[in-house]
A and B are shown apart, each in its own frame.
Chain A
Amino acid sequence: MKILEVKNLKKDFESLEVIKDISFDVKEGSVVAIIGPSGSGKSTLLRCATMLETIDSGELKYLGEHAVQTIDGKAVYASPKDLKRIQSYYGLVFQNFNLFPHFSVIKNVTDALISVQKKPKDEAIEIGRRLLEKMGLEDKEDAYPFQLSGGQQQRVSIARALALNPKILFFDEPTSALDPELTGEILKVIRELAAEDMTMVIVTHEMSFARDVADRIIFMDGGVIIEEGEACDVIDNPQCERTKMFLNKFENR
Chain B
Amino acid sequence: MDLSVLLSQLAEGMLISVEIFTLTLVFSLPLGLLVAFGRMSKNPIIRNITKIYISVMRGTPLMLQLMVVYFGPYYLFGWSIRGYRFLAVIIGFSINYAAYFAEIYRGGIESMEVGQYEAAKILGYSKSQTFIKIILPQVIKRILPAVTNEIITLIKDTSLAFVISVSEMFTTAQAIAAAQKTTTPFIVAGVFYYVFNYIVATTMEWVEKKVSYYR
Q: How far is the CA of A25 from the CA of B137 in the complex (A)?
A: 40
In the complex, how many angstroms separate the beta carbon of B122 from the nearest chain A beta carbon? 5
Question: A84: CB under 8 A from chain B?
Answer: yes
- A116-B125 in contact (CB<8A): yes
- A112-B214 in contact (CB<8A): no
Given A112-B123, A145-B214, also A101-B118 (CB < 8 A): no
Q: Per-residue 0/1 for B110-126: is the Cβ within 8 Å of any A Cβ (1 yes, 0 no)?
A: 00010110110111110
- A146-B215 in contact (CB<8A): yes
- A112-B125 in contact (CB<8A): yes
In the complex, how many angstroms separate the beta carbon of B210 from the nearest chain A beta carbon? 12
Question: A195: CB under 8 A from chain B?
Answer: no
Given A52-B118, A94-B119, also A101-B215 (CB < 8 A): yes
Q: Per-residue 0/1 for A137-149: is the Cβ within 8 Å of any B Cβ (1 yes, 0 no)?
A: 0000000111000
- B125-A52 in contact (CB<8A): no
In the complex, how many angstroms separate the beta carbon of B138 from the nearest chain A beta carbon? 6
Q: How far is the CA of A52 from the CA of B116 in the complex (A)?
A: 12
- B138-A92 in contact (CB<8A): no
Question: B134: CB under 8 A from chain A?
Answer: yes
Q: Per-residue 0/1 for B23-52: is the Cβ within 8 Å of any A Cβ (1 yes, 0 no)?
A: 000000000000000000000000000000
What residues of chain B lie closer than 8 Å to A70, measured between beta carbons? none
Question: A59: CB under 8 A from chain B?
Answer: no
| CB < 8 Å neighbour of B124 from A88, A101, A144 | A88
Q: How far is the CA of A102 from the CA of B215 in the complex (A)?
A: 8
Q: How far is the CA of A58 from the CA of B206 in the complex (A)?
A: 54
Question: B141: CB under 8 A from chain A?
Answer: yes
Q: How many residues of A contact B (CB 8 A)?
A: 26
Within 8 A of A (CB), among B132-170: 133-134, 137-138, 141
Q: How many residues of B contact A (CB 8 A)?
A: 20
Q: How far is the CA of A98 from the CA of B134 in the complex (A)?
A: 11
In the complex, how many angstroms separate the beta carbon of B157 from the nearest chain A beta carbon? 32
- B141-A102 in contact (CB<8A): yes
Q: How far is the CA of A92 from the CA of B123 in the complex (A)?
A: 8
Q: How far is the CA of A145 from the CA of B50 in the complex (A)?
A: 37
Question: B213: CB under 8 A from chain A?
Answer: yes
Q: A88-B124, A117-B124 known; 20 other A-B pairs, CB under 8 Å?
A: A52-B118, A87-B122, A90-B122, A92-B122, A94-B119, A98-B116, A98-B118, A100-B119, A102-B141, A102-B211, A102-B214, A111-B133, A112-B124, A115-B129, A116-B123, A116-B125, A116-B129, A144-B215, A145-B214, A146-B214
What residues of chain B have their CB less than 8 Å away from a CB belonging to chain A? 113, 115-116, 118-119, 121-125, 129, 133-134, 137-138, 141, 211, 213-215
What residues of chain A have their CB less than 8 Å away from a CB belonging to chain B? 50, 52, 84, 87-88, 90-92, 94, 96, 98-102, 111-112, 115-117, 144-146, 160-161, 164
